Amino acid sequence: MTPLLCAVTDRHSLAKPSQLSEHIAFAVAAGIDWIQIREKDMSARELLAVVRGAVKVAAAGENATRIIVNDRLDVALAARADGVHLGEASMPVAVVNAWRREAVSLKKLPREFLIGASCHSVEAARAAERDGADYIIFGPVYSTPSKEKLGAPQGIKRLAEVSITVKIPVLAIGGITEENAGECVNAGAGGIAAIRMFSGERDLAALVARLKTL
């Protein structure tokens, strides 16, 4: 099975934060499966403009890239994004899933609208699956500056444990590189999510092609 590749945005990691929309377009053209727009310090108006632009670019692309909004369900809906990703401090997965079921039944929302959840333990992964999440992002698997506040890395053995515990896709995050991505997939991860690996690569299409062979 080809691993899912999810690029998580952080405009502050780019050479110029103003290049965020260009970076998203670059990722779409390169064949990234999902782009999670994670810009927590943006105003709702700014974020909405970015997501709308991303949705438009993805729709015009040839690779069926899905645009997912971190935390902001309201922005995801207003921009007609493909899903929302929920953190530990976001709305509960069960609440969002209950709303989704009703919205789908009323034909106000596509059945394919994704709900993702960040998890940092086996117990949290089980709960997210039970409550209706479509996928989990688990980590940090390796040491990374962006996840230092979450404590020590979970490690590859814990990733394997989570991956075998739930049936929904588990995407590994935290210190993921081209060199260790294969280790994550071999441990059972359904894909990988990363900020730096996808934002700092000049030939992103070539990187994506290599990762797809893992």
Cβ neighbours, 10 Å, residue 4: 19
**Closest by CA position to 115, among listed 39, 168, 179:** 168
118 phi, psi to nearest 5 deg: -85, 130
66 three-class SS: strand
Domain count, the chain: 1
- Contact present, 12 and 37 (Cβ < 8 Å): no
Cβ neighbours, 10 Å, residue 126: 15
What one-letter code names the amino acid at 84? V
CATH number at residue 83: 3.20.20.70
| Domain carrying residue 28 | 4-212
Average pLDDT over residues 190-204: 93
Name the token pair of 136. 């989990």
Q: What digits encode the pLDDT tens for the residues 107-158?
A: 999 999 999 999 999 999 999 999 999 999 999 999 876 656 656 899 999 9
The share of the chain scoring above pLDDT 90, in percent, equals 91
pLDDT of residue 147: 54
